[in-house]
Amino acid sequence: MAQSLAGPEIERLIQLLARMPGLGPRSARRAVLHLMRKREELLAPLAEAMRVAAERIVTCTTCGNLDTQDPCTICRDPRRDRSIIVVVESVADLWALERAAAIRASYHVLGATLSPFDGIGPEDLALPRLVERATSGEVREVILALNATVEGQTTAHYITDLLSEAGVKVTRLAHGVPVGGELDYLDEGTLSAALLSRTLV
């Protein structure tokens, strides 16, 4: 094991930060050094913000989003179209769609996608609550905003079957040419999908 270069408190901070996605031990050491140098203006406020967040973060019992209130800020927003539910795999996907600001609907976070090889079955996904919401009478469309992977598409098919009797329109994201994409650079799968999901101009 590498020799410690700082006290145990600092080493612990480095170890914890190194577990963050996108940070390894090297970046974590650099970040901790930066925090130590800026302890008044950065380390202390960050520690306080994290303490408050750790106390208050809850999972929204309606949609599965993470927030400091339940129902979450999105579920409470009166300007949202509650007749549309956008189904996503993770909170990260929900946040990505919100950043795009293309739709002001409500969401449903599944928590995972079906993956028999990894032992992830329907019981591991937040499906009963989705069916409950979709059949509440308020919802007219469920948009499946799932990854264009085998797992994402398997899950989309499963949910489409599950909601076939719910009396709601089930749609999915288009597959095709990315904005700014050049045809010459696309893989065959993306090109075929784009041709199959062509639309009238």
Residue 169 C-beta: closest distance to Zn ion, Å: 22
Query: Which CB atom, from 65 or from 151, has the smaller least distance to Zn ion?
Result: 65
Give the nearer residue to Zn ion in terms of CB position, either 68 or 197: 68
Contact 109, 65 (CB under 8 A): yes
> 78, 86, 98: which is closest to 139 by C-alpha?
86
Tell me the residue length of the chain.
Answer: 201
With tokens 């950043």, the residue in question is: 99
Nearer to Zn ion, 39 or 76 (CB): 76
Our CB check for Zn ion shows the closer of 64 and 152 to be 64
Choose between 66 and 177: whose C-beta lies nearer to Zn ion.
Answer: 66
Integer Cα distance of 77 and 133 in angstroms: 17
- Give the footprint of Zn ion on this chain (CB under 5 A): 60, 62-63, 65, 72, 75
Q: What is the DSSP letter of 64?
A: -
What SS3 state is found at 70?
Answer: coil
Contact 85, 139 (CB under 8 A): yes
Distance, in Å, from the CA atom of 11 to the CA atom of 8, rounded to the nearest integer, reads 5
Q: How far is the CB of 60 from Zn ion (least distance, A)?
A: 3
- Residue among 17 and 72 whose Cβ is closer to Zn ion: 72
Smallest separation, CB 73 to Zn ion (Å):
8
Q: How far is the CB of 101 from Zn ion (least distance, A)?
A: 17
Q: How far is the CB of 51 from Zn ion (least distance, A)?
A: 24
Alpha helices in 18-71 (DSSP H): 25-37, 44-56
- Could you tell me the smallest distance in angstroms from the CB atom of residue 76 to Zn ion? 8
3-state secondary structure of 170: strand
Among candidates 103, 104, 109, 94, which has minimal Cα distance to 61? 109
